[in-house]
Amino acid sequence: MTTLLHVAVSPREGRSHSRRAAQLVLDQLAEASADLRIIERDLAATPLPHPDAAFVEASLMPDADRTHAHRAELALSETLIGELEAADSVLISTPVHNYTVPSTLKAWIDLVVRPERTFRRTPTGKVGVLADRSVLVVSASGGNFDGAHAQTDFLMPYLRYVFATVGIQQVEGIRLQNTARGAESAVQALDGFSQELAARMLLMPLVA
């Protein structure tokens, strides 16, 4: 059985361009793999808390020194990390907010990227401890990141760097751009996404 973790971010539900695009990926994966199991983590339906002082204290403490209260503070983080560890591959569908990740996705990252749990601290820097796996990021933006008047892309470089921190190197992305420039532009963005998805053959790593 192949397991896919889908982290859905957009709060716009049925009006979301990134969610529509992700559904195309999910439909094709279901056709390609009859035994596909999907773990859905919807950050809009069930928002995650941002780390507070109690969480930070518990996460920085040596495991042997943690009390029951400390472990309770880390319980949600352990659930999220467990979902990631259980997945053979990951699909993230997200809008671009102010050139980078939405705060809800940042909260997921902050609960998953934990010292001495998903990465080790060494004299030469952080070393990821999770097994490598394929991550596909489907992002939707109102503006464009290619061509004339392009915006700076902080989303994909950041996600590649943060996943590498925990040991995951295979991070690819497909964008839907100019989605806020009218209905015709939004349709063109989804059409372009479908073509790029097929041309780049990104489905194979996800079902491997």
3-state secondary structure of 157: helix
pLDDT of residue 197: 79
93 is known to lie in a ligand binding site: no
At the top level of CATH, which class does the domain 2-207 belong to? alpha beta
pLDDT at 145: 81
The tens digit of pLDDT for each residue in 81-101 reads 999 999 999 999 999 999 999
Domain ranges in the chain? 2-207
Give me the pLDDT at residue 192, please: 77
Residue 134 annotated as part of some ligand binding site: no
**Angle in degrees, 0-180, between the axes of helices 103-112 and 75-86, rounded to the nearest 10:** 90
pLDDT, greater one: 147 or 133: 133
Q: State the Cα–Cα distance between residues 3 and 196, nearest whole angstrom.
A: 24
Tally the residues of the chain: 208
Q: What is the DSSP string of 16-27?
A: -HHHHHHHHHHH
Q: What is the mean pLDDT of the chain?
A: 90
Nearest to 171, CA basis, from 182, 187, 158: 158
Helix pair angle (17-32, 183-200), 10° resolution: 30
The lowest-confidence range among 58-62, 127-131, 132-136, 184-188 is: 184-188
> For a pLDDT cut of 70, what percent of the chain falls above it?
92
Q: What is the pLDDT of residues 86-140, one digit of tens each?
A: 999 999 999 999 999 999 999 999 999 999 999 999 999 999 999 999 999 999 9
16 labeled binding residue:
yes
Running DSSP on this structure, what letter comes out for residue 65? G
Question: Do 100 and 90 form a contact (C-beta atoms < 8 A)?
Answer: no
| Residue 205 banded pLDDT, cuts 50, 70, 90 | low
Does the annotation place 17 within a ligand binding site? yes
